[in-house]
Chain A
Amino acid sequence: MKKYSLVLFLVGILLLSGVLTTMAAEAPVTINWWHIQTAEVEKVLWQGLADEYMAAHPNVNIEVLSLENENFKAKLTTVMLSGEPPDIFQSWGGGVMNEYAKAGLLLDITAHLDKDGWRDTFSPGALGVYSFEGKNYGVPRDMGMVGFWYNKDLFAQAGIDNPPATWTELLEDVQILKDAGITPIAVGEGDKWPGAFWWEYLAVRIGGQAAFDAAYSREGSFTDAPFIEAGEKLQELVALEPFQSGFLGATWGDEATLMGNGEAAMDLMGQWAPGAFADNSVDKLGLGEKAGWFPFPAVERGTGDPADALGGGNGFVIGINAPQEAVDFLKYISSVDSQIAQAEINLSVPVVKGAEGGLIDPLLKIVQQGAAAAQYFQLYYDQAMPPAVGSVVNDNVQGLFAGTLTPEQTAQAIEDSAAQEIK
């Protein structure tokens, strides 16, 4: 009996020491990475980067989770509220990220950025979106602006030679397209944020930086004239019934499907549009050569500069419980080579210096230059402001699209929320 216990003891020691040595050699770590790319080429690119990194670092296991935009938001909210953020995840920076940072759910990577000149590889404006109170919580991969993506063939078919430069011209072109039997505009207003771009851009054109700064600093108000007028202009457009049938219940995916298949003439959307058009189209090619782009038209008597841009970008932030390897991996996927690869498949408008050359698409080059040249760059309202206000903007602009709310009611609802949330 005693013999056996001695043997057992020795075997135990052996096993234990074996475990300990392997742990010392390469403590296995798992990195959870959530991104919102669902198009095949984009998923393949991310997975490829993860595979490369794992091959070079055998102790690191990267679990990549690809989630559709709306599903991502829902799932992320749940894990964030339970205090268990993923290690690396998609972020648009701004107000929502600030809430997470305030709650101590994000890892401060300022020191990492300052080491070895990592910070200097990014264009400062884009990087700034992922900082809050002087601390960095993530890095951008993409920055661009919202504008009109249009189908040149359909415009030509209706007899429109040049894209509209003013709001009045836009309304006229909408009517011309309608008369030609073409759906002028695709919008996924069931998702709300695509329509909010319209109201926000109108406010940018009509009131310029001054109007937003005044309202956001609480010296002014979201019931100020430019915001009311933005609603009135939007009403003028809605009155023409320029959208596809059932637009109030449609998603961004439906919107991209219509554009990608050439069933609607134009779409007010960000830099990710061409990739989504292609992925949602029947032939997976999207608009290709037929695609055109023009900036949001000037609004008559507006004080905003027509070169001002509404936009934003995508990036990744690091969760508070992430292992150190996660930061290293983030650095890996933010390299110039990675950025060039992203640009080549129209996934990102690059923000890392030296990767601009990766942009092949001439339209995305215009978008990139437009965003870089804008004197006043307005981050989307639902990212610039606290989540509650952003959500109220989206919800109430939908009321304008449906014709159930007046411009005054919309502005008042946003003002009420701002008064409560922005202090």
Chain B
Amino acid sequence: MKKNSFEQDVQTLPQKFGSTLRPQDRMTIVLFLLPALVFFSIFLVYPVFRSVYYSLFNWKGFGPTVDFIGLNNFKRILTDRIFLKAVGHGLLIVVLSLSIQLPLSLALALMVGRNLRGRALFRTIFFMPYVLSEVITGIMWLILFNPDPKRGFINAIMALLPGLKAIPWLGDTKTVLLAIFVVLTWKYFGFYMLLYLASLQNIPSEIEEAALIDGVNKRQMITYITIPLIGSTIRTSIYLSVLGSLQVFAIIWIMTKGGPVNASEVMSTYMYRFSFVRFELGYGSAVATVMLLISLFFSLAYLRLVRQADYLN
């Protein structure tokens, strides 16, 4: 079968051209890569190493780093009940994203990818939340979730419906994480939907036609033809979703600052609180390092388990 995924093309590039490259061409490649490489180093690689360096100090962010404390910051992180709670919340968001957000996006993509009337309109509507900035999204939902039925739209509706009453969504430790997950889903499902849509368009219609001739029904078509054929996109979306969920920050900070009483705390809000509210930048850097390690661990595991399988096929 012909390999047609983008990754495979990239992988075969060096085999095709590697041996025949002339020195001038190599020079061109280096020159084109250089600007990106410089920016990448200055704004990503260098700060990461600085951060790891700071994490070894008791440092408030001002002046020179003098109070070297070795790995004490890391010891404190791993024994801090609130940090562990934040990790738990992060994992919960990951699980919810994978089990609710992605399937929802896929279902919508299958719907608007077909010959549905007004599908262009639906595509635009579904994609719109993703275009909004996170801060605007956070503030908008903050207003929607206002506990006072006179001010918050959601509670106004709750108050009108018989048998329901207004709920302080963001002010209750039991509901706050759920409310935030709703916002995250609303914000990002359009992005995943678009990924799936792009992938759906790559499915050759001959295959579907052949299947139809063989007499498959709609359900079989989706399970045995469509989903396997967009498998690599689904795997990519899982990867993006997990990393995105582990690093979510702006929406939570805007809406709850990780509260009430750490009920919506995630690693990034925890890091921000220590770094920029408590001025414990050394400790905050250590938290950032731990976050990096967790994300790196996931990335490597993913590459080993999933990507390799993709290449081998």
| A→B interface (CB under 8 Å) | 73-74, 77-78, 80-81, 99-100, 102-105, 189-190, 192, 244-250, 254, 387-388, 391-392, 398-399, 402, 404-405
Say whether chain B's binding surface is mostly helix, strand, loop, or mixed: loop
- Please, could you name 8 A-B residue pairs with CB atoms under 8 Å apart, sorted by A? A99-B279, A244-B147, A246-B168, A246-B170, A248-B173, A387-B277, A387-B279, A388-B280
A13 to chain B, nearest CB (A): 40
Give the CA-CA distance A244 to B168 in the complex, in Å: 10
**Does B261 sit within 8 A of A, measured CB to CB?**
yes
- Judging by beta carbons under 8 Å apart, are A246 and B172 in contact? yes
- Judging by beta carbons under 8 Å apart, are B63 and A74 in contact? no
A409 to chain B, nearest CB (A): 11
**Residue among B168, B171, B173, B273 facing the most chain A CB atoms (10 A cut-off):** B171
- Judging by beta carbons under 8 Å apart, are B279 and A388 in contact? yes
| B→A interface (CB under 8 Å) | 60-63, 146-148, 166, 168-173, 176, 256-257, 259-261, 273, 276-281
Give the CA-CA distance A192 to B146 in the complex, in Å: 18
B50 to chain A, nearest CB (A): 13
Give the CA-CA distance A398 to B82 in the complex, in Å: 14
Indicate whether A402 sits within 8 Å of B63 (C-beta atoms), given known contacts A245-B147, A246-B148, A248-B168.
no
- Judging by beta carbons under 8 Å apart, are B260 and A81 in contact? no
Indicate whether A245 sits within 8 Å of B259 (C-beta atoms), given known contacts A103-B63, A387-B277, A392-B278.
no
Q: Closest residue of chain B to A389, judged by CB?
A: B278
- Judging by beta carbons under 8 Å apart, are A387 and B278 in contact? yes
Give the CA-CA distance A73 to B257 in the complex, in Å: 14
B60 / chain A contacts, CB cutoff of 8 Å: 99, 103
- Judging by beta carbons under 8 Å apart, are B277 and A391 in contact? yes
Give the contacting residue for B171; candidates A104, A249, A387; CB below 8 A. Answer: A249
- Judging by beta carbons under 8 Å apart, are A190 and B256 in contact? yes
A388 / chain B contacts, CB cutoff of 8 Å: 278-280
B276 / chain A contacts, CB cutoff of 8 Å: 74, 77-78, 81
B64 to chain A, nearest CB (A): 10
Further pairs besides A250-B171, A391-B277: 17, Cβ < 8 Å: A77-B276, A77-B277, A78-B276, A81-B276, A81-B281, A99-B279, A190-B257, A245-B147, A245-B148, A247-B168, A248-B168, A249-B256, A249-B259, A387-B279, A392-B278, A398-B259, A399-B261
Indicate whether A404 sits within 8 Å of B261 (C-beta atoms), given known contacts A247-B171, A249-B170.
yes
A78 to chain B, nearest CB (A): 7
Give the CA-CA distance A74 to B135 in the complex, in Å: 14
Give the CA-CA distance A192 to B259 in the complex, in Å: 10
- Judging by beta carbons under 8 Å apart, are A402 and B170 in contact? no
Indicate whether A246 sits within 8 Å of B171 (C-beta atoms), given known contacts A103-B62, A104-B63, A190-B259.
yes
Give the CA-CA distance A404 to B262 in the complex, in Å: 10
A395 to chain B, nearest CB (A): 8
A74 / chain B contacts, CB cutoff of 8 Å: 276
Give the CA-CA distance A189 to B49 in the complex, in Å: 38
